[in-house]
Structure 1
Amino acid sequence: MPTLRILCLAALLLTFCAAAALAETPTELAGIGLGEPVAKAKGRIHTQKARTMDDSPWVQKIPVAGDKFFSGGYVLVGVCAAPGTVARIKMRYRDDGLDFFRTISGEMLKRYGDPTQYKGDFEGRTMGNKWGFSDSRLRPISLILQRTEGEDPELGAGTTLKLTNWGLLEAERACWQERHGAPKAPAAAPAKKAAPDHGYLPR
């Protein structure tokens, strides 16, 4: 009988631990839910400005309006497997100072623990960390906090936060390619004529 009680307690403990682990997985950013219909955040998202991604036609990119914390951003939503479902959220903070970045980095380290990957360069112009999680269906989720002094090709210089459900993105890609085939690769540029070799270049 004592053995049975111990096994039951162990099972309950594992259940609570699993629930706690799931609760730590971030699923919302700037009031927008990852994996939820984009219509739920229609007050923040400019759906009339949605555009298809040239290199990823299985998703649409939609601008997100700013608030008191963020100056703006975008979401990626599915168009095939789960049309209108948010698969990625990326936002840029209004405060682009280094002190703010250090503060929020410390808070995220306390909340999520050690990052799984450093997302920066050796010069220090780009700094950041990446954390990895899983949702309730064991689909991988990544969270990236990054600050760049140069130009982020998507949102410009400053501090950004990006939350992505890779399982949702992969489902959209697979669905789209099943219906349309793989997207055509861009035409290769014509080969340039080789420069003369004077004997001092590597071969």
Structure 2
Amino acid sequence: MERNFWLSLVVVPLFCACPSYADAPHKIAGFVLGANISQYDKLVRMDSAIPIRHMEYLTEVETTKILGYKNGYISYGTCAQPGRIVKIKLKYAIPDSWFFEELLKRFKKRLGEPSEWKGDPFRTLIAWKWSLKDAQKNNITVILQHYTGNDEEYTSGNSLRLTVRKFIEEERQCYEKKFPEAPGSDMQDGIYRPEDRNRIDYNPLIPE
């Protein structure tokens, strides 16, 4: 009984009817991809907003406490359409593998089989990705994952990501148009070509 309660709490909002978006999910925990972050002042902590490193055209903000979730982060654009939500990341309150399996069954029932396996061979990271098109032909990616390792780059327990890649790309292009890179800056950003091998100073890159 308790399991069914938690599953209905966190899965049903993801798959709610959304007439303008065909079959691709856009909504979870009250947030809608493409909506403006200003609509959610009661659901986010704007004092936590911070630009995403190496993606200055996006800002990430922490959610307030939402029933069914341990925490969450919402990413929105700051250039092409300021405030437009481009990504939703949520960590479920229940971290256990059985809960992940129950979620996965329901995701498959609603979205079909995943498009891609994103986990690792050791299965410390179990992650499935769906790539879906909405009515406007936008590619919506859904990643459901379960992690039990110690790498801080990954969210432990069970988590979900919804992303509109087109929105992120529009924000990136807008930012790069406003702030074009100076000649040669690609070398500082880690973009190298084979013909650059003799121009690189390797000394700072090797331990002493």
Q: Which residue of 1 aligns with 2:23?
A: 24
- Structure 1-normalised TM-score? 0.79
* Residues 154 and 43 (structure 1), Cα distance of their counterparts in 2 relative to 1, 3 Å cut: farther
Cα distance between partner residues in 2 of 1:50 and 1:150: 28
Q: Which residue of 2 aligns with 1:109?
A: 108
Contact 1:82 1:172 in 2 (8 A): yes
Cα distance between partner residues in 2 of 1:48 and 1:63: 9
TM-superposed CA distance for 1:150, in Å, is 1.9
Cα distance between partner residues in 1 of 2:39 and 2:54: 27
Contact 1:73 1:155 in 2 (8 A): no
Partner of 1:77, secondary structure, is strand
Cα distance between partner residues in 2 of 1:92 and 1:193: 38
Instruction: Give RMSD over aligned pairs.
Output: 2.5
Whichever residue aligns with residue 142 of structure 1, its letter is: T
Contact 1:148 1:158 in 2 (8 A): yes
1:6-155 map, 5 Å: 22-151=21-150, 153=152
Partner of 2:47, secondary structure, is helix
- Identity value in percent: 26
Q: Deviations over 1:71-114 (max 9, x none)?
A: 11101100000000100000000000010000000000111001
How many residue pairs get matched? Answer: 176
* Residues 171 and 98 (structure 1), Cα distance of their counterparts in 2 relative to 1, 3 Å cut: same
Partner of 1:75, secondary structure, is strand
* Residues 22 and 50 (structure 1), Cα distance of their counterparts in 2 relative to 1, 3 Å cut: closer
- Structure 2-normalised TM-score? 0.77
Cα distance between partner residues in 2 of 1:144 and 1:128: 7
Q: Deviations over 1:9-32 (max 9, x none)?
A: xxxxxxxxxx99952210111110
Cα distance between partner residues in 1 of 2:30 and 2:71: 12
Higher Cα Rg: structure 1 or 2? 1
Q: Which segments of 5 or more consecutive residues in structure 2 lack a partner in the other structure?
A: 1-17, 191-200
* Residues 127 and 155 (structure 1), Cα distance of their counterparts in 2 relative to 1, 3 Å cut: closer
* Residues 152 and 58 (structure 1), Cα distance of their counterparts in 2 relative to 1, 3 Å cut: farther
Q: Which segments of 5 or more consecutive residues in structure 1 lack a partner in the other structure?
A: 1-18, 195-203
Contact 2:22 2:135 in 1 (8 A): no
Moved over 3 A (4+): 19-22, 151-156, 182-189
